[in-house]
């Protein structure tokens, strides 16, 4: 027998699919429910279960993260997803990353973020900032600078010393993922 939470999730998804199938989307109706859903323990649990049961055979980290992104994109296809996997190796978790939505599963750190209405990312502005004032900053300094310069955008930064992998379902001009001298950086619209 499915849990009450899963039944509620199924009902919510059915409502959203019905709204979507009706043609014109009512984003004022969709977005609050969607934000609740995507920030819920149900989606987090799905991510964790998917990572722990990653299929048959040994997979590379890049294959695992791509598979997780495809799983989310297929299940929640009206949302653009950005998924990152960072191998954890010893140092304090807080010292090498900045941004929201970091989750730890086994000895792997996962970042899952999304946008309901992706907007183009000002990549030249980000590159200029990364070559200038925050060139030598840590992950926290980079995210703080980007949040000031780019309101309406989400930023995640991880120390360049960490092995990291990424996959996304964003349009190419709406997602920024690059490794810089000091950090690996992801930026997309809220």
Q: For residue range 11-29, list pLDDT tens digits in order.
A: 333 333 333 333 333 333 3
In a domain, 121, yes or no: yes
> Among 55, 84, 69, which Cα is nearest to 165's?
84
In a domain, 38, yes or no: no
- Domain of residue 177, residue span: 60-189
Does pLDDT of 49 surpass 80? no
Mean pLDDT of the chain: 69
Highest-confidence segment of 1-15, 25-39, 51-65: 51-65
The average pLDDT across 49-68 equals 65
> Among 112, 119, 115, which Cα is nearest to 173's?
119
Tally of domains in the chain: 1
The reported pLDDT for the residue numbered 22 is 33
In a domain, 105, yes or no: yes
**Residue 100, CA distances (Å) to 2, 65, 94 in order:** 30, 18, 12
Does pLDDT of 63 surpass 50? yes
What gap in Å lies between CA 139 and CA 92, rounded to an integer?
A: 13
In a domain, 134, yes or no: yes
| Between 58 and 134, residue with greater pLDDT | 134
In a domain, 135, yes or no: yes
């Amino acid at each position: 027998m499915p849990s009450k939470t899963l039944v509620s999730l199924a009902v919510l998804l059915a409502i959203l699919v019905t709204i979507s199938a009706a043609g014109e989307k009512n984003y004022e109706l969709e977005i609050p429910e969607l934000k609740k859903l995507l920030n819920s323990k149900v989606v987090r649990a799905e991510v964790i279960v998917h990572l722990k049961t990653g299929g048959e055979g040994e997979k590379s980290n890049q294959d695992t993260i791509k598979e997780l992104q495809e799983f989310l994109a297929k299940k929640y296809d009206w949302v653009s997803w950005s998924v990152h996997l960072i191998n954890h190796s010893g140092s304090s978790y807080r010292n090498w990353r900045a941004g929201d939505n970091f989750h730890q599963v086994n000895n792997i750190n996962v970042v899952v973020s999304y946008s309901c209405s992706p907007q183009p990312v000002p990549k030249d502005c980000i590159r200029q900032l990364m070559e200038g004032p925050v060139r030598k900053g840590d992950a926290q300094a980079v995210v703080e600078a980007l949040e000031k310069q780019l309101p309406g955008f989400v930023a995640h930064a991880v120390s360049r010393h960490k092995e990291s992998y990424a996959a996304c379902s964003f349009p190419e001009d709406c997602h920024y993922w690059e490794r810089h001298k000091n950090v690996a950086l992801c930026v997309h619209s809220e």
